[in-house]
Chain A
Amino acid sequence: MDVAGDGGAHDTISVHNFSEKVCEQLVHFHVMRLSGGFFLWVGAAPTLANLAVSMSSKFDAMPLSMLVMGDQSETAPNSLAQRLAKKTKKQVFVSYNLPVVNSNLALQVEDRIKKEMETHPQHF
């Protein structure tokens, strides 16, 4: 994906909010664009329950990902961060605050994020 900006140190951090009804649930998104990466929060309630970090490595095709905060048994934040890092080639921070019971929800949420990346690349 072609994202504008080379991540120079003089970029101003930008914050972007959007929301969407996914699987009959209103899901909120909050993106903070940083130099060379972004922070993405996804949730239905304003909690920060977990945080995953992912970035590309020259030693592996798949980006490295790690959960730095929250329940280690939760795989959703890690996998989302990893896929977004793969797509954007950036350092990605993800906090995923939705119930994990519905895997369809996670897929639709990811599609919605990718849609936003296409329509508003300047925010990522």
Chain B
Amino acid sequence: MYKLKTCQGGLTKGLTMSTTQAMIKSRQTEKEINGIRTQVVCTEFSDHIFVVLTQYGKIGTLVLVTPDSKSSDVSTPMFSTKVLMGKDEPLTHVCAKNLATPVSQEAGNRPVLLGLALKDSSIEAVKLMRDLIKSCQVW
């Protein structure tokens, strides 16, 4: 009855309004960081990059990381972080900014929606997570 089209192919970058391929491109990976299983799923949307970084298998805290509109003026753009759901404490903002800034910059200053569920937020772990996200690049 239903004709299922399971599409794995990505779409071309840009704002193509009518693609017959899978609309949404995503990549995932996992790695043990300090002995803790860490999963990453990156999904590309035309107006956002969605990154799930989890050590619980859940989305956890949702943080939106947005580049400043005036960022083109200066060499190092500024980013603002907003916790949409979950633990709104300074460390969440620090981790989110640290992890999402390179993603946003590489994705043409698109805002990044980040799902964070971490057991280990140490600086060493966060650095390794940054590399892990980078290895899952969809943008």
A binds B: yes
Report which A residues bind B (CB closer than 8 A).
Answer: 7-13, 15-20, 26, 28, 30, 32, 34-37, 39, 41, 43-49, 51, 53, 66, 68-69, 91, 93, 112, 115, 119
With A17-B24, A45-B23, A46-B24 already in contact, the answer to whether A51 and B84 are too (CB < 8 A) is yes
Is the CB–CB distance between A46 and B46 below 8 Å?
A: yes
A28 to B25, CA, bound (A): 12
Partner of A68, one of B7, B23, B85: B85
Asked if residues B57 and A34 are in contact (CB atoms below 8 Å), the reply is: yes
Chain B contact residues: helix, strand, loop or mixed: loop
> Which residue of A is nearest B24, CB measured?
A30
Q: Do A69 and B84 touch (CB < 8 A)? A: yes
Chain B, 35-75, CB within 8 A of any chain A CB: 37, 39, 41, 43-48, 50, 52, 54, 56-59, 62, 64
Most chain B CB atoms below 10 A, which of A41, A66, A115: A41
B residues less than 8 Å from A7 (CB atoms): 57
B23, B28, B30, B48 pick with most chain A CB within 10 angstroms: B23
Task: Report B's interface with A, CB cutoff 8 A.
Answer: 2-8, 11, 15-20, 22-24, 26, 28, 30, 37, 39, 41, 43-48, 50, 52, 54, 56-59, 62, 64, 84-85, 113
